[in-house]
Amino acid sequence: MRVNGACKLQLAGAVLLATLLSSCLQPQRVPQTAPPPAAATAPLPPPARPGLPYDIVADESLLIVLAYRGGPLASAGHNHLIASHALAGSFHVPADVLQSTFEVRIPVATLSVDEPALRAHEDPGSFPPDVPDGARQGTRRNMLGPALLNAERDPEIVLRSLSIVPAAVPGAVGEAEGSVLATIESTVAGTVRTVRVPVHYRLAAATLEASGDMPLRQSDLGLTPFSALLGALVVQDEMHVRFHIIARVGAGAAPQ
């Protein structure tokens, strides 16, 4: 069949129109652009603490914990003296002593057990000097193990002040010396608890002296007292804690 020129022209026009319509009906693809990278934000600096900073002097500071045996077989065990000579941290003391803040860190791996020189200052009836090496080593192993302080997972005990109020004694707060009651946030073996600690302080020149003497239960810190032989030999829940801390302006303690 022969197609004349007019028919060819009409056919070409129809093909062109169909092509244009099909392109109009196609969804238009918008090029995708990657979102701009988020601007890096610098970590916020720690809040400034008011007051003059006093850094703890580890060589002149000491923490002692007295732990007592218990249970039906208590006579087979020993009372133990645990000590730290490696306290770190700082105090910030403004003009108003009650606005002071502090942080004390205790590296648990440095805790000692039954140092003869320290036991010699205790009641010999309760803390005789002759503790066998095996008993000392076993006590330290249990203390640092996962059932108690878990030193591998939690290498530090951290004590941070939350508030300070006058102690219930006459002349509790003075300009250079006094007694206060500190509410402290303790972090021990990953457990955070709040305890109250009586503190006697003395300020002299560029030195701060803080000391205390108090009973404290292991359970108050979130710890479960050690027990052996189905409870026949235990460490009593209540301990006795003493501390004497020396801090000085510009002593160069570990950074906070």
Q: What is the Cα–Cα distance from 236 to 68, expressed in whole angstroms? A: 6
- Is residue 165 over pLDDT 90? yes
Average pLDDT value for residue range 205-223: 94
Q: Which of 101, 55, 59 lies closest to 84 in space, CA to CA?
A: 59
Question: In the prediction, which pLDDT does 229 show?
Answer: 79
Q: Which domains does the chain have, with CATH numbers?
A: 52-248 (2.40.128.110)
CA distances from 228 to 69, 77, 178, 232 (A): 11, 11, 43, 6
What pairs with residue 234 in β-bridges?
70, 227
SS3 per residue for the chain: CCCCHHHHHHHHHHHHHHHHHHHHHCCCCCCCCCCCCCCCCCCCCCCCCCCEEEEECHHHCEEEEEECEECCCHHHCCCEEEEECCCEEEEEECCCHHHCEEEEEEEHHHCEECCHHHHCCCCCCCCCCCCCHHHHHHHHHHHHCCCCCCCCCCCEEEEEEEEEEECCCCCCCCCCEEEEEEEEEEEECCEEEEEEEEEEEEEECCEEEEEEEEEEEHHHHCCCCCEEHHHCEEECCEEEEEEEEEEECCCCCCCC
To the question of pTM greater than 0.85 for the whole model, the response is no
The phi-psi region of residue 2 (left if phi > 0; otherwise alpha if psi is between -120 and 50; otherwise beta) is beta
Over range 202-230, report the average pLDDT. Answer: 91
More confident residue, 15 or 161: 161
| Contact criterion met (CB below 8 Å) for 106 and 87 | yes
- Between CA 37 and CA 14 the distance in angstroms is 50
Higher pLDDT, 131 or 209: 209
Summarised one tens digit per residue, pLDDT across range 93-138 is: 999 999 999 999 999 999 999 999 999 999 999 999 888 998 899 9
Residue 159 CB coordination number (10 Å): 20
The answer to whether 199 and 177 are in contact (CB under 8 A) is: no
Question: CB-hemisphere CA count at 13 Å for 207?
Answer: 8
Provide the pLDDT confidence category of residue 41 given band limits of 50, 70 and 90. Answer: low
